[in-house]
Amino acid sequence: MTKWLRNIWEEVARPIFLRPRRVQFAALCTRQTNTGPEVLLITSRDTGRWIIPKGWPIDGKDGAETALQEAWEEAGVHAPDPGKEPIGHFTYDKILKDGTALPVLTSVYRVEVQDLVDDFPEAGTRKRVWVSPATAAERVNEPELRDILLQL
């Protein structure tokens, strides 16, 4: 019986619980207003839920540079390079087209937006909105991202 349980753990249960995480990089795009900081949220292309710009690693770019590239492609953000250290991390399950859940660890870099343009690569597939950090925290699904937003 013990050998059978060990096999179940090693072959089935352990891989489920200890799945390796994929890595993404995200841009927490902010601006300062008279009423305090605001956060730029965008919609995802598939479900339309509110997210921050993020994506997979890009060859030749570090995490901060990748986050800035994603902010441009997904939201039309022009900004100086963010700090090289992330301000936080969050996890989520990316649901693939076949329905499989892929665990992802996302490093978040703060990006101070200088300009927002209307003509950017994914302009026709996403909506954008500036909101307070508290409102942003209410709109996103990921609890760890909510915590990061509420710390602004």
Tell me the domain boundaries of the chain: 20-150
Which amino acid, one-letter code, is at 120? F
DSSP 117: -
Which amino acid, one-letter code, is at 118? D
Look at residues 100, 135, 101, 116 and name the one whose alpha carbon lies nearest to residue 53: 116
Cα gap 27→107, rounded to integer Å: 9
pLDDT tens digits, residue range 102-135?
A: 999 999 999 999 999 999 999 999 999 999 999 9
Out of 3.20.20.60, 3.40.50.800, 3.10.180.10, 3.90.79.10, which CATH number does the structure's domain 20-150 have? 3.90.79.10
Find the DSSP H helices in the chain: 2-8, 14-17, 63-75, 133-139, 143-150
Q: 110 near 64, Cβ under 8 Å?
A: no
Confidence of residue 30 (pLDDT cuts 50, 70, 90): very high
Q: What is the pTM of this model?
A: 0.84
